[in-house]
Amino acid sequence: MASPKKEQPASLSRAPNEPWLIIQGHLDPIDQVALALTCKRLLSASAISTIMLPSSPAHKGPGTDRGECKNLPLLLARVRPLTPSGLLSPDLALCRNCQLYRPTWERYWVAVGETYARRLRRCYYREAAVYAVYVKGLIGMWKNRLSTEVACPGCQLEARWEYFERVKRLKLCYRQAGR
């Protein structure tokens, strides 16, 4: 009498690539990425197909500083940075403008603010005094963000710098026109 065979549990990780590619074909791009990131096996299987990922520049609305498409923030919210123990990192937050995970440490943004302050002092003397208070407020908003709709201090400082540059160009145009 033959001994009965031991039944082996079915393992999806041992399935060939074709079923995964069929399943992946029925998913939207965000879910395709989420599926691919579940394990190394599915990541290698997904490398065979093309996943159309949203990119930050392609998803910016005309004349706006933030994307109008919801796919990129959804993807970034699903693929959040984790600590080595697998918990969500409290030291990083998603910026609504640049769509990057940026640090929430005050000392990091103080250093960034000082860089902008040096640039500002060279060109705009009057605004430099108020600037330190402005930077402190930006850092506080970023550190204690009450919603996900907050831009990082770096993006806000860059927008402020661009504003100063536009004002400077306008003043120059008015001076030249007045001559």
CA distances (Å), 165 to each of 27, 169, 173, in order?
45, 6, 12
CA distances (Å), 9 to each of 2, 4, 15, 19, 41, in order?
21, 15, 12, 18, 18
Distance in angstroms (rounded) separating the CA atoms of residues 15 and 111? 51
Cα torsion angle, 166, 172, 173, 175, sign: positive
Distance in angstroms (rounded) separating the CA atoms of residues 128 and 114? 11
Distance in angstroms (rounded) separating the CA atoms of residues 27 and 176? 58
Secondary structure string (H, E, C) spanning 130-155: HHHHHHHHHHHHHHCCCCCCCCCHHH
pLDDT of residue 63: 43
The dihedrals phi and psi of 39, each to the nearest 5 degrees, come to: -160, 165
pLDDT of residue 50: 77
pLDDT of residue 40: 83
Distance in angstroms (rounded) separating the CA atoms of residues 38 and 12? 12
User: Residues 111-135: pLDDT tens digits?
Assistant: 888 888 787 777 666 666 677 788 8
| Percent of the chain scoring above 70 in pLDDT | 73
| Cα distance from N-terminal residue to C-terminal residue, the chain | 110
**Global pTM?**
0.61
What is the helix (H) or strand (E) element at residue 14, kind and residue range? none
What token pair was written down for 3?
């001994």
Angle of CA points 51, 53, 54, to nearest 5°: 160
User: Residues 46-94: pLDDT tens digits?
Assistant: 888 777 765 656 555 444 444 456 667 777 777 788 888 888 888 888 8
User: Residues 87-114: pLDDT tens digits?
Assistant: 888 888 888 888 888 998 889 988 888 8
